[in-house]
Amino acid sequence: MGRVTSAGKTDEQSLSAGVAVRDDSAAPPRAAGRRMLAYMGICLVLIGLNLRTVFSSFAAVLPEVTADAGLPAWAVMVLTTVPVTLLGVFAPLAPALARRFGAERVLLGAMAVLTAGLLLRPVELPAAGHLPALLAGTAACGAAISLCNVLLPGVVKRDFPRRLGLMGGLYTTAICASAALGAGFTFPVFRATGQWTAALWFWALPAGVVLLLFLPPALRASPGGPTPPAGGVSVWRSAVAWQVTAFMVLQAMMSFSVFAWLAPILRERGVDGGTAGLIVSASIVLQMLGSLFAPALATRFRDQRAINTVVALMTGGGFALSIFGPLDVIWLWTGLLGLGQGSLTAAALTLIMVRTRDGHAAAHLSGMMQGVGYGLGSSGTLLVGQLHQSTGSFAAAGVLFLLVGSLAAVFGYRAGRDRFVGD
């Protein structure tokens, strides 16, 4: 018989219901009361609220930055692709850093690097122009966001084992809200100030505020992470982990392509910059709705095949219709895209929590699926840019993402089966 939880269930019964109980061996060495735990939850959500502004803010003023800074075509390609690639490059480092320094302190350091990168990004260097700082600042932001991406699901799994649906929904909604804020407010700030540099600098402010708010729990936490449980499974040898990772790759290809290219797609179709920003923001508001409810729905059932399949097809279809569909109802197409994409991202991240038995396994699955997922998923933004450059339109990208959405539905169906990593 397994240990009896406060809900009157054994560990085995709780795990069979698809919700892992807290593993005492992986518990942090701090005794946090309810208020501190609630404050920690708020901080995690606020961190999520800063993880996508770097992508959507740059896309919102891309034509202005390109013209004013004289960016060559290769630089535009790098600035829209490299941040996503770095999400994959640095993801495998996050679990090791968390074991050495503690997840909270790594998150704090990542927020410091993110704030510094956002401050550096618009700087103009004498005789060198804007390009060096744009490249260095964007790279720093990508590295910092990568660490946060990987560690957040593990911390949620560790500290909120009985609230996975709620906390998973809140922090994934915050991530989508971050993209919406970047898309919706960057162009108005540019229009008010007349400077794209001010519009990009603006996003260092909320990141800096969250950095200060997160100082107390980060400094109070143990400087080292928990000892991994003996006999832990290797995610790299798990078929379940690879199916989840393939699903993540395909959703990342679509997700970051939307962040980087939806506004330019709309502007090329004749939509003015302000309206394009509003459309993208409205689409991402629907992403927020999808990301809020998808984890709660996914964790309610032991099997996620249906939701994974439906939201993958919605995303691929919505992306294609935003390119091919009649412009008169563009709000409808981008709305379908937003609802699908938000649900798809949340469904993929929720699999980290429902396909693992403890926070240690969740952190390693998160590192694997986000390392591979974002590393390969960055090819989406690159492919869209190359297809546009070679064909002169976004039509080929529309066809590409019909295919990507279909493949995501296939792997989402397989990853959604009721199994755990290591089974």
Q: Which of 96-100, 224-228, 358-362 has the lowest mean pLDDT?
A: 224-228
Check: CB of residue 131 under 8 Å from CB of residue 73: no
- pLDDT band with cut points at 50, 70 and 90 for residue 423: low
Check: CB of residue 319 under 8 Å from CB of residue 257: yes
Q: Which of 12-26, 152-166, 193-207, 236-250 has the lowest mean pLDDT?
A: 12-26
Query: What are the CA-CA distances from residue 203 to residues 53, 114, 294, 335, 387 (Å)?
Result: 7, 10, 28, 25, 30
**φ and ψ at residue 200, rounded to 5 degrees:** -80, -35
The pLDDT score that the predictor gives to residue 86 is 83
Which of the pair, 394 or 17, is modelled with greater confidence? 394
**φ and ψ at residue 125, rounded to 5 degrees:** -95, 140
Q: Give the relative orientation of helices 103-120 and 204-213 as an angle to the nearest 10 degrees.
A: 160
Sign, CA dihedral 406-411-416-417, equals positive
**Residue pLDDT, tens place only, 289-345:** 888 888 878 878 888 999 999 999 999 999 999 999 999 999 999 999 999 998 998
How far apart are alpha carbons 221 and 415 in whole angstroms?
34
Q: Give the relative orientation of helices 131-159 and 34-48 as an angle to the nearest 10 degrees.
A: 150
How far apart are alpha carbons 194 and 187 in whole angstroms?
10
The pLDDT score that the predictor gives to residue 290 is 86
User: Count of CB atoms within 10 A of residue 322's CB?
Assistant: 28
How far apart are alpha carbons 333 and 324 in whole angstroms?
10
The pLDDT score that the predictor gives to residue 233 is 63
The pLDDT score that the predictor gives to residue 319 is 93
Contacts of residue 144, Cβ cutoff 8 Å, sequence gap at least 6: 110, 111, 113, 114, 117
The pLDDT score that the predictor gives to residue 26 is 40
Check: CB of residue 256 under 8 Å from CB of residue 248: no
The single residue listed with the structure tokens 């590409």 is 400
| pLDDT score of 32 more than 50 | no
Mean pLDDT, rounded, of the chain: 84
How far apart are alpha carbons 352 and 369 in whole angstroms?
9
Check: CB of residue 169 under 8 Å from CB of residue 114: no
Q: Integer distance in angstroms from the first to the last C-alpha of the chain? A: 20
Q: Distance from CA of residue 1 to its chain's centroid?
A: 39
Query: What are the CA-CA distances from residue 386 to residues 46, 86, 360, 368, 381 (Å)?
Result: 35, 19, 39, 27, 9
| Alpha helical stretches, state H, 34-130 | 34-48, 53-60, 62-69, 73-90, 93-101, 103-120
Which of the pair, 250 or 299, is modelled with greater confidence? 250
Structure tokens at 184: 């919706």
- Count of residues making up the chain: 423
Which of the pair, 377 or 239, is modelled with greater confidence? 239
- pLDDT band with cut points at 50, 70 and 90 for residue 353: confident
Structure tokens at 245: 């990772």
- Strand, helix or coil at 160? coil
How far apart are alpha carbons 155 and 148 in whole angstroms?
10
- pLDDT band with cut points at 50, 70 and 90 for residue 113: very high
How far apart are alpha carbons 93 and 101 in whole angstroms?
12
- Strand, helix or coil at 324? helix
When pLDDT is averaged across residues 25-42 and rounded to a whole number, the result is 67
Query: What are the CA-CA distances from residue 254 to residues 75, 181, 261, 321 (Å)?
Result: 21, 19, 10, 14
Which of the pair, 419 or 225, is modelled with greater confidence? 419
